[in-house]
Amino acid sequence: MDNIIVTILSVTLVILSIGFLWIYKSSKKKLVTRCDELKFFKQEKEYYDEALLVLSEDYDIVFANQAAKMLFSLDKNYIRLNTGKTIELKVDTSYPDEFFKVLKEKSQVESDSFHLENVLLVISGKMKQVNIYVDKSAWNLNKTITCIIDMRMITPIKAKNVTSANDGGIDFFTGLPSQFSALTDINSLVIESKKKSESFALFLLGIDHFTELQTTLGLGYSNQIIKRLADYFKKYKEENIRVFRMDCDKFLLIVEKLEGEEDIRKIARKILTEIGNFYKEDSAVRLTASMGIAMYPTLGENATKLINHVYIALDQAQKESESNIVFFTTEYQSIHKDEVKMNEEIRKGLNNNEFFLYYQPMFSLEHEEMVGAEALIRWNHPEHGLITADKFLDVAKRTGLIVDIGEYVFREAIKQRREWDTKGLKKFKITVNLSLKEMKVNAFIKKLASLFEQYSVDPKDFNLDITEAAAMSNIEQSLMDFKLFKELGLSLSLDQFGASYSSLKYLQALPLSMIKIDRSLIFDLYFNLDHQIAVKSMIALIHGLGFEVAAEGVETSKESKLLYDLGCNYAQGYLFSRPLPALEFQELLK
C-alpha cells in the first residue's frame, strides 16, 4: 500500500514539474516576443517627426522617441531634465495646465482611444497648435497607452490678416475671432499705439444673470442667445471696432479712434440698448448685458494686464446692477488685493468671536403682530468698528469662508433661541439665510441636527432663507437638499423673488412655506404702477402655488397698506423695526 502511494505521489510530482516547465517556456516565449515587438516598435518610431510617448498606468514615461525627448527635455532614461522648460496643454476653453495632468484627466473620461484636435501646446508660455492621438489598445503592456503629438501641426499663433478656424484664430461656436486672436491683436495694437502715442479701449460684454438664464431656459436656448449676440456683432459695421468671442457669454471689443470718455460711454450704451431689445416682444426672456471697460495706456501696457483689468471692471459692473457700465480703476484692483487681507481677518474674527447677530422682526399685515425674525450677522471689527454683512459676505462666498460663517450664525441663533425659551419668552420662527455653497456641504445637515440636539431646540422653530438665484442655479441639487432640510423639521422660504428667473415648474416642486418678494419691487411700489401690477400678479401666483407671501424693505405705511390690499401676508422693513441686537430685540418679546 505504501509503495502505491509513493508511486502516485512521484507521478503527480512529475506531471506538475512538466506543467510548470511548459508554462515557464510559454511565458518566456511570449515575453521575448513582446520585448522584440517593443524593440521593433521603438526602432520603427524613434525618428518619426511626431513626438511619441508610451506611458504607464501611472503616466510615467516608458518610452519616448527622439522628437518627444527634445520636446519634453528627456534624458536617455526618459527622466525630465531640469531646464526650466514648461509644457502645458490647453483644451477647449479651459486654462492651460501641466501636460500630463490634462492628458490624464482626458484619458480618464474617455474609455477608448481618442483624438484631441487643434488643441494648444503651451511651451514656456508660447502657444503652438497640435493634434494629439491617444491609443489605449496598441502595445498594451501593463495597461500602457500611446500618445502621439502631431508635430507637423505645430505652428506658432501669429497675427494674420485673415484668421481661420484651423489655426485657432476663429471661435468654432460663433465664427467670431477667438480669444487667442484677441491676445495677438491687442499686443500688436499696443506696439502701434506706442509708436503713434495713441490710445484705445477694451470693452468686455457679459450677459447679466447668465447662469440663471441657462438653468431656466436650458442649454439649447441659452446657446441660441450666444449665437444671436455673435450674429449681431458680425453685422456691427464700425471700422474702429473689432469683436472677439472670449469664454462662455463674454465678448471682447477693441475700440480705436476715441474722442474721450463720453464717446466711449455713448458707444457702450448704444450696444447695451440694442442687445436689451433682442427679445422685447418675448415676455419669457428678459435679456440685459453689462460692460467693463479698460483704457490703454493708462490702465495696462500689454494684452494680459488689459484683459485682466477689463474682467475686473465687468465683475464690478454686474455686482452693482443690470445694464451697467464700469470703467476699470486702480481702486478696483486694490479691492481685489484687499480681499486676500479681508479673508484672513474674517478667519481671525470667527476664532476671536468678533461676529454677533442682529434680529429684524417680521410682522403679519392682517393681525399687525410679530410672527418671526431674521438673524443678520454683524462684525465688530477691532479697527473699523461695526461692519454690516454686505461689506464682507461677497468675499466670504468667493473664498469658501461662507460655510464657516453659516455654521457660526446657526450656532449662535440656536443658542439664543434656547436662552429665550429658558426665559419663557414669546415663541416665533428665526430665519437664517443660507448660501448656495452651504447647500453643497454634505455634512451641513448632520451638524445642524447635532446643534439642535445639543441645545434642546426644536428645528420647527427655524426657517431657512434661500435666494431665488441660488435655488435655481442647480435645481436638481436644490430639490434634493430642500427635501433633507424639510425632513429635519425646518421650514423653507425663497428670498429675493422677482430679481432672477424662475420656472413655474420648479417653483411647484420646491417644498417651500413662503416666498419673499424682492425689495427692488417694493421701494417705490406706491408710486410705480408697473411695480404694482407686477407685485399683484406675483402674489396671486404665489398663493396659487399654495405658499404664503412676504414683502421685504417696507418703509412706509402707504406701502404696507397697499401690500395688504394686494393680498400680501407678511412684511419686513424699517417701518416695523430696524435690525436690533439680541438684548434690544428681547424687549419686543416681553
What residue numbers bound the domain in which 12 lies? 1-45
> All 3 cell numbers of residue 55?
506611458
Where do the DSSP E strands lie in 111-190?
Answer: 114-123, 126-135, 145-150
pLDDT at 9: 58
What pLDDT score does 363 carry?
94
Local confidence band at 489 (pLDDT 50, 70, 90 cut-offs): very high
The answer to whether residues 193 and 320 belong to one domain is yes
> For residue 501, what pLDDT band results from cuts at 50, 70 and 90?
low
One domain for residues 426 and 303: no
CATH code for position 194 = 3.30.70.270
Shared-domain flag, residues 98 and 171: no
CATH code, domain carrying 575:
3.20.20.450
Residue 529 three-state SS: helix
What's the distance, CA 171 to chain centroid?
A: 22
Assess if residue 382 is contained within a domain: yes
How much is the pLDDT for 16? 57
| DSSP code, position 365 | T
Q: In what order do the strands lie in the sheet with 251-255?
A: 241-245, 251-255, 200-207, 289-296, 325-327
Give me the number of domains the chain comprises: 4
- Identify the residue with better confidence: 498 or 183: 183
Cross-strand pairs, 497: 517
Q: Are residues 479 and 352 in the same domain?
A: yes
Q: Is residue 159 part of a domain?
A: no
The answer to whether residues 454 and 554 belong to one domain is yes
Residue 160 lies in a domain: no
Final residue of a structural domain among 328, 352, 372? 328
With pLDDT > 70 as the criterion, what percentage of the chain qualifies? 81
Q: How many CB atoms lie within 10 A of CB 196?
A: 8
57 is a domain residue: yes
- Of residues 587 and 474, the one with the higher pLDDT is 587
Average pLDDT over residues 515-531: 85
Lowest pLDDT segment from 223-237, 269-283, 540-554: 269-283
- Same structural domain, 383 and 489: yes
Q: Tell me, yes or no, whether 269 and 283 share the same domain.
A: yes
H/E segment holding residue 18: helix 2-45
The arithmetic mean of pLDDT across residues 169-190, rounded, is: 83
User: Tens digit of pLDDT for each residue in 316-366?
Assistant: 888 777 888 888 876 655 555 566 778 888 889 999 999 999 999 999 999
CA distances from 411 to 77, 406, 452, 483, 582 (A): 58, 9, 9, 22, 14
Backbone angles phi, psi at 401, to 5 degrees: -70, -10
H or E element in which residue 433 lies: strand 429-434
Q: Residue 376's pLDDT is what?
A: 94
- How much is the pLDDT for 54? 86
Domain termination site, one of 266, 298, 328? 328
Min mean pLDDT across 387-391, 563-567, 582-586 is at 387-391
Residue 39 shares a structural domain with residue 103: no
Q: How high is the pLDDT of residue 14?
A: 53
**Cell, residue 267:** 458707444
* 381 touches 349 (CB < 8 A): yes
Same domain, 569 and 430: yes
Q: What is the pLDDT of residues 147-171, one digit of tens each?
A: 888 765 444 433 334 344 444 567 7
Domain ends where: 328, 348, 372? Answer: 328
The least confident of 35-44, 263-272, 275-284 is: 35-44
If asked whether residues 72 and 27 sit together in one domain, one would say: no
More confident residue, 452 or 235: 452
Question: What CA–CA distance (Å, rounded) separates 199 from 182?
Answer: 17
Q: Which residue has the higher pLDDT, 24 or 81?
A: 81
Helices 179-196 and 303-320: angle between axes, nearest 10 degrees: 110
Residue 158 domain flag: no
450 domain-assigned: yes
Helix ranges, 235-388 (H): 261-276, 303-320, 330-351
Rounded to an integer, what distance in angstroms lies between the CA atom of residue 569 and that of residue 590? Answer: 24
Q: What is the DSSP letter of 179?
A: H
Same domain as 145, residue 170:
no
CA distance 555 to 522: 9
226 and 85, same structural domain? no
In a domain, 492, yes or no: yes
Residue 333 within any structural domain of the chain = no
